Amino acid sequence: MTIEAVLKTLEEIAPLAYQERYDNAGLLTGKPDWDCTGVLCTLDCLEETVAEAKKKGCNLIVAHHPILFSPVKQLNGSDYVQRTIIAAIKADIALYAIHTNLDNVPAGVNKKIADLLGLQNSRILAPKGQLLNSLVTFAPLADAPKVRQALFAAGGGQIGNYADCAFSVTGTGMFKPQEGAQPVIGAVGHAETVEEQRIELIFPAHLQKQLISALKKAHPYEEVAYFITPLNNIYQNIGSGMIGELSRPQPIESIFENIKQIFNVKCIKHTATTGQPISKIAVCGGSGSFLTKTAIAAGADLYITADIKYHEFFDADHQIVLADIGHWESEQFTIELLFDILVAKFPTFAILKSAYCTNPVLYYS
C-alpha cells in the first residue's frame, strides 16, 4: 500500500480545502508514491516522534499539528523544527499534518470532544460560508437521470442531512452543429431543437474538478453546456467549534469534575460560575477564544476551549462560563480519532498510536 492511499482516506474525511488560510496541512516531507510500512498517529511531531516511528517501522507520521508552520530559511538544526525535519528526511519518513481541516469537519476533533462529554444533538458552532457552488447543466430527457446520478456520485446534491438534492425543469434546447462537429443529435449545418431538462444542484467548491469530469463522462453531447456560480450560502456541515446539549442539566462542579477525569487535567481555569445548572455546552479544541461571542449567541451555558488570555476571560461578560482546560489536554484524543479512522479502512495494516507525550506544558503541585 502506498502513502497516497492512506492520505486519500484521511482527506475523504477532512479535505485539505477546509483548512484555514494560515494553516499548513498536507504532506510536509516524503512522497505519496512511497510504499507505506506503517503509520504512527500523534498530536505533534518532534524528534522523539520521528525516532519512535523509526523504531516501530513506520515511515509515515500523521500529526494533527504541522511541524512546518512558519517559513524555514535554512536547515542547519538550530531549532527543534529544523532538527525534526532533518531527522525525518534522513530516515525516509513522510510527515503529514491534518490540522484545521480536521477541526472544521463534523466528524473531526470537536465531535470527538463533544462525544467524550456526552453531548447530544451536537452540531457545528460557527458554520462557514463561501464553500459551496451551484452547477446548472442541460441534458436530453432520456439522459437526464443518468447525468443526475453521475453528479450525485461525484459529491453533488448534498444539503445537510439530505442527499441527492437537485431541481429539474423541462425546456427546449437549440443548437446548430458547425463544420468539424460530430453531433449525437442533428446534422452539421442544420438547426436542431431538443427537449431537455435543466438540472441544478449545489456542491462543495473543492469538488468542482471531479464534478465536471463526471458530468462530461455521463453526458451524451460532444460539447456539454454548463455554468457554475459561487454561493454565499452557509455550509452547515463545515466550520469551527461544536455545540450540543447534555441529556439533563448538571451543576457546573459536576461537569468540571468530569472534565478533570476525562481529560486528566489537574486544574481548570474558568470565569465565575452563576450557580445555575448547565444544559448547553460549546467546545473548541485548541485555541478557541475567537468563538466566545459565538458561543454566547448560540445560547451555550459553558464554553470549553484552551489558550484563553487574561483579557479574553472578560468576554464572558457574566453571560457564559469560560473554561480553559489546556491546548494539549483538549486535543489529546485526536490521536485516537486518527487511529480509528485509519483502522476502520485498513484493519490489517500497521496503524499505531504514539506513546510519546508531546505536551510541553507541565504543572507543579
Q: How far apart are CA 117 and CA 245, in angstroms?
A: 10
CA distance 42 to 332: 9
- The reported pLDDT for the residue numbered 161 is 86
For residue 112, give the nearest of 3, 2, 9, 14 by alpha carbon. Answer: 14
Which amino acid belongs to residue 179? E
Q: Give me 290's grid cell.
A: 475567537
DSSP state of 289: G
Q: State the pLDDT at residue 274.
A: 84
Output the CA angle 355-42-109, nearest 5 degrees.
125
Give, in order, the Cα–Cα distances in Å from 90 to each of 3, 8, 33, 82, 94: 18, 25, 18, 12, 11
* Three-state secondary structure call for residue 36: coil
Would you state the pLDDT for residue 184? 87
d(CA 60, CA 29): 9
Instruction: Identify which of 117, 127, 103 has the alpha carbon closest to the alpha carbon of residue 297.
Output: 127
Q: Is 46 helix (H, G, I), strand (E, B) or coil?
A: coil
Dihedral sign (CA 261, 264, 269, 271): negative
What DSSP string runs through 170-200? EEEEEE---TT---SSS-TTS-EEEEEEEEE
CA distances in angstroms from 150 to 5, 146, 216, 242, listed in the order given? 23, 6, 10, 33
- Three-class SS state of 303: strand
Bridge partners for 242 per DSSP: 124, 283
Alpha-carbon distance of 287 to 87, in angstroms, equals 28
The runs of H, that is alpha helices, within 265-365 are 292-297, 310-313, 327-331, 334-345
CB burial readout 284-307, b (16+ within 10 A) else e: bbbebbebbbbbbebebbbbbbbe
Nine-digit cell string for 240: 469551527
Q: Are 286 and 333 in contact (CB under 8 A)?
A: no
d(CA 110, CA 330): 9
Q: What is the pLDDT along the chain (365 residues), one digit of tens a residue?
A: 999 999 999 999 999 999 999 999 999 999 999 999 999 999 999 999 999 999 999 999 999 999 999 889 999 999 999 999 999 999 999 999 999 999 999 999 999 999 999 999 999 999 999 999 999 999 999 999 999 999 999 999 998 889 999 999 999 999 999 988 888 888 998 998 999 999 999 999 999 999 999 999 999 999 999 999 999 999 999 999 999 999 999 999 999 999 999 999 999 999 999 889 999 999 999 999 999 999 999 999 999 999 999 999 999 999 999 999 999 999 999 999 999 999 999 999 999 999 999 999 998 87
CA pair distance 301, 252, nearest whole angstrom:
10
Counting Cβ atoms within 10 Å, is residue 106 exposed (0-12), middle (13-18) or buried (19+)?
Answer: middle
- Label residue 279 exposed, middle or buried (CB < 10 Å: 0-12, 13-18, 19+): middle
Question: What residues contact 344, with CB distance under 8 A and at least 6 apart?
Answer: none
- Residue 339, classed as helix, strand or coil, is helix
Question: Which cell numbers in the block locate residue 202?
Answer: 449545489
Beta bridge partners of 250: 278
Contact predicate 156/135, CB 8 Å: yes
Among 165, 167, 143, 170, CA closest to 155: 165
Q: Which of 17, 61, 66, 69 is nearest to 38 (CA)?
A: 61
Going by C-beta distance under 8 Å and a sequence separation of 6 or more, which residues neighbour residue 159?
165, 202
